[in-house]
Amino acid sequence: MIVPLSINHIDEVYAIEIQSFSDPWSKQSFVELLSSPFAVCFTAVDAENEVEEVIGYIIMYHIFSEGQILNIAVKETHREKKVATEMFNAVLEYARNVSIETLTLEVRESNSPAIRLYTKLGFKLSGIRKGYYKQPKENAILMTLIL
């Protein structure tokens, strides 16, 4: 189930962030997103148990007719179960409803599973940002989806 990010999700989102990235965002960064007029944030929750479990999140900035995917991660135990695709579908539905024309994102050039997913979703290579990532240092591939 995909739902808007709330303050109740922050601890679990932050735990996924630390698990997923070598240079993670701070917990405060996620809290601040909740009050940003530009942020569109969704979480994937597994509601099969009595207690909902956050299993992924996606963060996008929406400015005028553009959306920029800032961050997406799925809990390690739930990867390769189409969770990321479901979150992207929520973003794409939002984007179409508010007339976003293009979506962009950056991805580590070594992250081939993510690149495959983004390509499958229709994103195209649109550039390279040399040395964009710092820990470890690596280029970013810039990808764009025209809606």
End-to-end CA distance of the chain: 24
Cα–Cα distance between 63 and 37 in angstroms, integer?
9
The active-site residue out of 17, 57, 106, 133 is 106
Q: Are strands 124-134 and 53-63 parallel, antiparallel or unpaired?
A: unpaired
Q: Are 2 and 43 in contact (CB under 8 A)?
A: yes
Cα–Cα distance between 32 and 18 in angstroms, integer?
17
Which two tokens mark 20? 């997923």
User: Which residue type sits at 71?
Assistant: N
Is 118 catalytic? The answer is yes
The active-site residue out of 94, 118, 133, 138 is 118
Catalytic residues: 106, 118
